[in-house]
Chains A and B, each alone.
Chain A
């Protein structure tokens, strides 16, 4: 079955919008090409789930967002997230556009660039042009094509050679207006031997009308660069989240993904490290809670091309109520990637008889001289464990919550940013309904 993609915008409208934003001609053309592809390409094929049945048509249209000059003026829904961050390097997108950007003067003096992508396209055209849509390409599916056609706001982060940044740079992506296209694109380039941590939050406001978030992330970790990318999605029930995250690693580069899947709506996410350079390493941690009648499809991938590369992927998911999660871990080791090592673990804990979880560990190995391993488990709260805790006087309710938090703790406690760990912990508590 093929489903005709209903285009949310026509070529004329898209071209006009691009021109109104003073985008360079190559970009306008890229958008138009992508739109054409979107009409022809199929939806991505999800393992054991039919994305056709999801609410994925609601792209709305581009709406202008008013910039704010002070963090006091940001919407109430994100006040807490930006509290005391007047001096922090921060980008805020609201609906179709960026409303706030700030880069600390110290980082600016070192040549760091941190702004929204639409601005970067004009101010750092060559750098953007050389990287944009080279890893997440429009050709893959109607979803990636539509993203390339419609993307807005976004983040551009460039860290020059040998610059090491210890304080995390942050972004907040907010969708709170009905019918406003929300499709941020994040582009991170960490130049040779640099190191950086980037943290973002995806949040939705009070609106309850169905909307799609179609987002993509491209990370380029050049030789010896270290990138830590943390993202927390806490979008509401009315938001369908389609997110592609990809990183390309050069020699000896390292990538760390920390993903908190705390949405309340249907979610497809795909987090991928491409270990191109020899000696590169990747570590992915995905923590997910599903509730209500959410349909969730999470994939984590590592593709080994370089020799001596290593990847580690861990997913822990807790499913409540009627939530369904399909969790895929794909480790691919290409011919020639000798002495590489790929390890993955997916674990799902189901809290209700109607919750569903599926863990699919997949190893695709075309090289003999490698090590790889996987472990997966799907289960319910172990009644023996509950009995044991209760036999010490602990109530059933507390016993179960100790076990559930304990299930996530080995991953949560490994998150290297204390603030993020605390935030995630409180989101977990909220999603678990406590």
Chain B
């Protein structure tokens, strides 16, 4: 089934403060959209609100994935419906090994009685870890515990590869990565490109977009998408920064919800 993801008029707040002030976006399977913007403009809030982070309250708007109302679902239901968020700051969980966690995540999508066999699971996990150049010992380590920033990011991509979601949101997946790690992560993403999978890449650098070519680029400021274009927009932002966008739109302070 071709993936169809729409966001209409999404507003969200944290602790009573409105951060998202009406986001509209439409995505189809096979497309890669990049959301760019300076810090503090609501990009990560968008990612968290879409996934259903308990701290963010959605006050208005509709989000659908293949016609299903996403905002009506609990976090785990959103995930099982095909949504995946590679997080900027993944949690560390003591006592739960990476492999036990991954297997639980895969099995959560399967009917009782048709769980993935241990052998098959290990084979898949090891193959993907190899692609991501991850030390096999990470399978047996506690989930993200003591992982470096880069290792955590690779672990997020590993989860994405094993879970095979329909709509992937990458929240600042490139932050804290050196160029080699960035290339590995990018090739992981590229390997997952397909007609029935959409990607929403949140970043404030053009860097990642050199390796993962976006079809559409959106600029976020003040909790809204203020400008959209093709890949050439990202290149101009990289070359000239965001000031020209602010000037063009008459924006003085691009941030939202920040304390003065």
| A-B complex is real | yes
Given contacts A394-B76, A394-B105, contact A389 B93 (CB under 8 A): yes
- A406 pairs with B104, CB closer than 8 A: no
Whether A104 sits at the interface, judged by CB under 8 Å, is no
Instruction: Give residues of chain B (6-41) contacting chain A, Cβ–Cβ below 8 Å.
Output: none
- A385 pairs with B93, CB closer than 8 A: yes
Residue-by-residue, is A394-427 near B (CB-CB < 8 Å gives 1, otherwise 0)? 1110110011011111100000000000000000
Whether B163 sits at the interface, judged by CB under 8 Å, is yes
- B163 pairs with A389, CB closer than 8 A: no
Whether A434 sits at the interface, judged by CB under 8 Å, is no
- B79 pairs with A406, CB closer than 8 A: no
Q: Which residue of the partner chain, among B90, B104, B159, B163, contacts A402 with CB atoms under 8 Å?
A: B104
- B75 pairs with A387, CB closer than 8 A: yes
Whether A383 sits at the interface, judged by CB under 8 Å, is yes
- B96 pairs with A387, CB closer than 8 A: no
Residues of chain B within 8 A of A402, CB atoms compared: 93, 96, 100-101, 104
Q: Which residue of the partner chain, among A387, A395, A406, contacts B142 with CB atoms under 8 Å?
A: A406
Q: Which residue of the partner chain, among B53, B54, B76, contacts A393 with CB atoms under 8 Å?
A: B76
Question: Measured between alpha carbons, how far is A392 from B51 in the docked complex, in Å?
Answer: 10
Whether A134 sits at the interface, judged by CB under 8 Å, is no
Max chain B C-beta neighbours (<10 A), residue from A382, A388, A391, A398: A391
Instruction: Give residues of chain B (55-93) contacting chain A, Cβ–Cβ below 8 Å.
Output: 74-76, 78-80, 84-85, 87, 90-91, 93
- A382 pairs with B95, CB closer than 8 A: no
- B75 pairs with A390, CB closer than 8 A: yes
Residues of chain A within 8 A of B78, CB atoms compared: 391
- A406 pairs with B96, CB closer than 8 A: yes
Q: Closest CB of chain B to A143's CB: distance in Å?
A: 35
Given contacts A388-B87, A393-B105, contact A407 B80 (CB under 8 A): no
Residues of chain B within 8 A of A394, CB atoms compared: 76, 79, 104-105, 108
- A385 pairs with B91, CB closer than 8 A: yes
Residues of chain B within 8 A of A87, CB atoms compared: none
Q: Closest CB of chain B to A386's CB: distance in Å?
A: 8
Question: Measured between alpha carbons, how far is A408 from B95 in the docked complex, in Å?
Answer: 7
Q: Which residue of A lies closest to B92 (CB)?
A: A385
- B80 pairs with A393, CB closer than 8 A: yes
Given contacts A383-B54, A388-B87, A389-B101, contact A395 B76 (CB under 8 A): yes
Given contacts A391-B85, A394-B104, A394-B108, contact A406 B76 (CB under 8 A): no
Residue-by-residue, is B119-150 near A (CB-CB < 8 Å gives 1, otherwise 0)? 00000000000000000000000100000000
- A388 pairs with B93, CB closer than 8 A: yes
Residues of chain B within 8 A of A395, CB atoms compared: 76, 108
- B108 pairs with A387, CB closer than 8 A: no
Instruction: Give residues of chain B (97-119) contacting chain A, Cβ–Cβ below 8 Å.
Output: 100-101, 104-105, 108-109
- B91 pairs with A388, CB closer than 8 A: yes
- A392 pairs with B95, CB closer than 8 A: no
Whether B94 sits at the interface, judged by CB under 8 Å, is yes
Residues of chain B within 8 A of A399, CB atoms compared: 76
- B96 pairs with A392, CB closer than 8 A: no
Q: Closest CB of chain A to B34's CB: distance in Å?
A: 21
Question: Measured between alpha carbons, how far is A403 from B105 in the docked complex, in Å?
Answer: 14
Q: Could you give 26 example pairs across A and B, Cβ below 8 Å? A: A382-B91, A387-B53, A389-B93, A389-B101, A389-B104, A390-B76, A390-B79, A391-B75, A391-B78, A392-B101, A393-B105, A393-B163, A394-B76, A394-B104, A394-B108, A395-B76, A399-B76, A402-B100, A402-B104, A403-B93, A403-B96, A406-B142, A408-B95, A409-B96, A410-B94, A410-B95
- A interface, CB within 8 angstroms of B: 382-385, 387-396, 398-399, 402-403, 405-410
Q: Knowing that A389-B104, A403-B95 touch, tell me 10 more A-B residue pairs with CB under 8 angstroms.
A: A385-B93, A388-B93, A392-B105, A392-B163, A393-B105, A393-B109, A393-B163, A395-B108, A398-B108, A402-B93
